[in-house]
Amino acid sequence: MSAEPAGPAGPLESRESPSRRRRAQRATSEELVEAAVRVIGREGVAAATTRKIAEEAGVPQGTVHYWFADKNELLQDVVRSMVERLDRSVAMGDRPDGGATIEDLRAGLRAAWAEVSGDDPGTQLGYYELTALALRNPSMRELARQQYGSYRDLAAHALAPVLADVEPGRAAAVAQFVAVTFDGLALAWLADPEGTQPEQVIQLLAEAVFQAKNGSPVAAQPPKAVT
């Protein structure tokens, strides 16, 4: 997105009270993203219209369209804010690249899990609703691709202190493995919190990452022909 302009203007503004207009002028894109997250958490992605998001933020509906070209762009920023929050939680301190230990990795994964499990379950469910909605709508499919691309990028960044000395292709595969495992863990926990064991999964995931880091490279096998 481009740098945020000074504030919204237009015919909608003239129909609002002075206090509401002042609120609209102060509103930032981040505040609108936070409002969208709250609406999604309570009512789901399908119900998160720009009107409801504007009401949640206490601004005219035109303010949402002022900051965002459309709802898809706003939802992209909703995903971005979640990924940035996870990225901050999983950071493994000032370890030099390649110098993180398995305990560092476990601690980072636990911190990321605490961010997920401590969040509103409705909000977490909303991210999966967002994926399903995007996959069912051709005009939104790019949003789903960007969402999961962000997850892979997050995993690669978080694992850099562990995988810096690993061959790039293998490191990328390990990062994707971590991303999809963590994503599946969150969904399983939402569906069956009593039957899901996050700590055991985290332990095994950390061990698998270090086995991949320390093991000999595995040659890629060509796909078998389907008969």
The residue whose two tokens read 């305990």 is 103
- Say what the pLDDT of residue 85 is: 84
What distances in angstroms separate CA 118 from CA 20, 121, 133, 222, 226, one per listed residue? Answer: 33, 8, 25, 42, 44
Buried b (16+ CB within 10 A) or exposed e, 177-198: bbbebbbebbbebbeeeeeeeb
Measured distance CA(180)–CA(203) in Å, rounded: 16
Other C-beta atoms within 10 Å of 48: how many?
A: 26
pLDDT exceeds 90 at position 227: no
pLDDT tens-digit series, residues 15-40: 545 455 545 445 688 999 999 999 99
Q: Which CATH class name applies to 18-67?
A: mainly alpha
pLDDT tens-digit series, residues 115-165: 999 999 999 999 999 999 999 999 889 989 999 999 999 999 999 999 988
Q: Do domains 18-67 and 77-214 have the same CATH topology?
A: no
Q: Band the pLDDT of 105: cuts 50, 70, 90.
A: very high
pLDDT tens-digit series, residues 50-95: 999 999 999 999 999 999 999 889 998 998 888 888 888 776 655 6
Annotation: CATH topology of 77-214:
Tetracycline Repressor; domain 2 (1.10.357)
pLDDT exceeds 50 at position 12: no
pLDDT tens-digit series, residues 179-222: 999 999 999 999 999 999 999 999 999 999 999 988 744 444 55
What distances in angstroms separate CA 179 from CA 48, 72, 193, one per listed residue? Answer: 27, 23, 20
Query: Cα torsion for 184, 185, 190, 194, to the nearest 10°?
Result: 140
What residue spans define the domains of the chain?
18-67, 77-214
Query: Cα torsion for 74, 78, 83, 84, to the nearest 10°?
Result: 80
